[in-house]
Structure 1
Amino acid sequence: MDFLTTVLLLLVGAGGGIGLASFLQKRSGITNVQRDSVLLLERIEKVFKVVMAEGYFSEIYNYQDQKKILYLLNDPKKAMVIAKSKVLVGFDFAKVRFRVPVTGERKLVIESFPEPEVLSIDTDYRFYDIQAGILNHFSGADYTQILEEAKQAMNERAMQSDLPKIANNQIQYMMYQLASSMDWQLQLPEAEQRKLEAIKAQAEELTSKSATRPAEE
C-alpha cells in the first residue's frame, strides 16, 4: 500500500468518525455548548448624580431596511422589537454653580442649576418577527444599530413625559428642606425660585389640612 493510499484511508476514516459522532450526538439530544466571558474594567469615576424620579415604559419598535437587487427588485428585511424599560431621571450635581455671600449670611445662592437628564435606562429587549431578505441578511452590526435606535427612542420618550417635571419639583423641595434643617436660606435663580415658592405653598397647605382634619371630625 503506497503512502497516498494510506493518507486517503486515514482521511476517509476520520471523516466517517466525525459524521458518526455527529449523528449519535443528534440522536441522543446532547448539545455541546461552550460559553466564555471576559470582564474588563475600563475606568472608575467619582460622580455626584441624584435620581429623583423613575418611570416604566413599554415600546414596540419596528425596523425595516430596503435593499435593491440589481437596482430593480426590493429585498427588504425587517424586525420588531418589544422593549420594556426602567428609566431613572435626575441631576448631575457636578454641573451646579453656587456661592455663599461674603457677608456671613447663612444663605446658599444657586446661580445655575442643570436641567434634569436621563441617568440610566435598564431595558429588556425581545426580538419578534425577524424576516431577512433573499440577499439582504441581518448582521451583528444590524442588531447593534436596532438596539441603539430603540434605546434612543426610549430616551426621547422619557424626556417628553412628566418625569423631568416631577424630578424638578422633587429636587427643589428636597434642597429647600435640607437648607431649612440646617437653618440656611436657599436662593435659586429667579424662575426656579418662583417654582419653589409655589411648591412650598402647596406643601404647607397640605400640611395644614392634615393637621386640622381630626379637629374638624
Structure 2
Amino acid sequence: MLKKILVGLGIVVCIALLFKFCQFRKDDDSTLDYNTNLIQQQIVNVGKLVVTEGHFAEVITYKNQQKYLMNMLSFEKKALLVVNADVTVAYDLHQMKYDIDEKNKTITIISIPKEEIKISPDIKFYDVEQSKLNPFTGDDYNKINKQVRANLAKKIANSSLKKNAQNRLISELSKLFILTNNLGWTLKYEGNTIENENDLTQKIKL
C-alpha cells in the first residue's frame, strides 16, 4: 500500500515538474518574441530619412562666343549668375539590410544605404548681354545648370555637410545599439561586434 502511495506521489511530482518546465519554456519563448518585436520596432523607428540641410551661394560669370569669317567676326553673350542652393544629405534607413538571429540573440546590420544628396539651385541672371546672332538658348541653360551643380558638388565635398549627416546617422543607429545591449542582445556590422557607441563610429565605414 505504502509503495503505491509513493509511486503515486512520484507521478504527481513528475507531472508538476513537467508542467513547470513547459511553463518556463513558454515564458522564455514569450520573452524572446517580445524582445524581437521591440528590436524590429526600433528598426522601424530609425528607418526614417536622416537628413542634414545646408545652404550654398556663389556668383558665376558665363561667357560664350560665336566666331565667323575665320574668326574675324565674333558675337559674344555673357551673363552674371547669382546662385543660391539648398542642399540636403539623407540616409533612407528603410533600405538598410539586416538579419535577426533569435537563437543567438544577435542582430547583424548587413548593409547601410549610401547617402542621397539633393541639390536645389535657384539661379538668377544679371547683366545679360547677347546678340541676335548668338542669343541665349536652351543649350546654354543646360550648360549653366550642369556647371552650377558641378561647382556645388565640389563645395559640398569640401564642407562639413556630409560629415554632419554621418554623425546624424550614427546617432540614430546608437538607439538600436542601446536597445539591443539593454536586452542582452549583440549588435554586429559586417562581422564586427559593436561593443560600445564609439564602435559605431570606428567600425561603420561609409
Normalised by the size of structure 1, how large is the TM-score? 0.57
Q: CA deviation at 1:103?
A: 2.7
In the alignment, what sits opposite 1:75? 75
Higher strand proportion (structure 1 or 2): 2
Q: Which range moves more in the overlay, 121-130 or 160-169?
A: 121-130
Structure of greater relative contact order (alpha carbons < 8 Å, 6+ residues apart):
2
In the alignment, what sits opposite 1:163? 161
Q: CA deviation at 1:134?
A: 5.7
Instruction: Return the letter of the residue paired with 1:85.
Output: A
Looking at structure 1, the residues matched to 121 and 58 of structure 2 have their Cα atoms a distance apart, in angstroms, of 10
In the alignment, what sits opposite 2:11? none
Counterparts of residues 133-144 of structure 1 (less than 5 Å): 133=131, 135-144=133-142
Secondary structure class of the residue paired with 1:67: strand
Looking at structure 1, the residues matched to 168 and 53 of structure 2 have their Cα atoms a distance apart, in angstroms, of 12
Structure 1 196/163 Cα, relative in aligned 2: closer, same or farther at 3 Å? farther
Query: Any gaps of 5 or more consecutive residues in structure 2?
Result: 1-46
Query: Any gaps of 5 or more consecutive residues in structure 1?
Result: 1-47, 202-217
Secondary structure class of the residue paired with 1:68: strand
Q: CA deviation at 1:169?
A: 1.5
Q: CA deviation at 1:87?
A: 0.8
Looking at structure 1, the residues matched to 135 and 163 of structure 2 have their Cα atoms a distance apart, in angstroms, of 43
Structure 1 192/104 Cα, relative in aligned 2: closer, same or farther at 3 Å? closer
> Equivalent pairs: percent with the same residue?
27
CA contact (8 A) 1:169 1:199 kept: no
170, 173, 178: which one aligns with 1:172: 170
Q: CA deviation at 1:171?
A: 0.5
Q: CA deviation at 1:195?
A: 10
Secondary structure class of the residue paired with 1:76: strand
Secondary structure class of the residue paired with 2:125: strand
In the alignment, what sits opposite 1:35? none
Looking at structure 2, the residues matched to 141 and 192 of structure 1 have their Cα atoms a distance apart, in angstroms, of 53
Structure 1 87/74 Cα, relative in aligned 2: closer, same or farther at 3 Å? same
Secondary structure class of the residue paired with 1:65: strand
Q: Is 2:89 the counterpart of 1:98?
A: no
